[in-house]
Amino acid sequence: MELAKCAKCKTVFQRIREPICEKCIKEEEQIFENVKEFLRENPKSTVTAISEATGASARKILGYLRDGRIEVVEGAGLNCGHCGEPIPTGQLCKDCFEKADAKISGIIKDNTPEKMAVQSQRAGVAMHTAARRK
């Protein structure tokens, strides 16, 4: 474990994983719980309404949405990072996520070590260590 300065309150603490101290982690979790409870009672709230009611910043609420920790039904102002369509949570809409997933799967399938070696040989690509090139 290393000593670190809390990114939020600037106190020195023994860091295990998080860049903030245990006290600040508890405060952050309480803010999240307040947002989550408000959304249970008011599921169609906007980010602005959630922020005003809970005291959580709009930036923090949008972070919860992007991380998939909460979901807002309408008016969140959260859009797909690719096509711009409104989305309830995350970073991509369902269609863009599925397209990206299919594209990545295809790339992985096409880039197995065996296929890459064959492609390199066909293209006449030779690989050398840095010492051998001299």
**Alpha-carbon span 69 to 114, nearest angstrom:** 40
pLDDT in tens, 76-88: 567 888 898 888 7
Q: What is the pTM of this model?
A: 0.57
- Helix ranges (H only) for the chain are 22-41, 47-54, 58-67, 94-110, 113-123, 130-133
Instruction: Quote the pLDDT of residue 54.
Output: 94
Per the CB < 8 A criterion, the answer to whether 47 and 73 are in contact is no
Per the CB < 8 A criterion, the answer to whether 39 and 45 are in contact is yes
Instruction: Give the model's confidence band at 111: pLDDT under 50 very low, under 70 low, under 90 confident, else very high.
Output: low
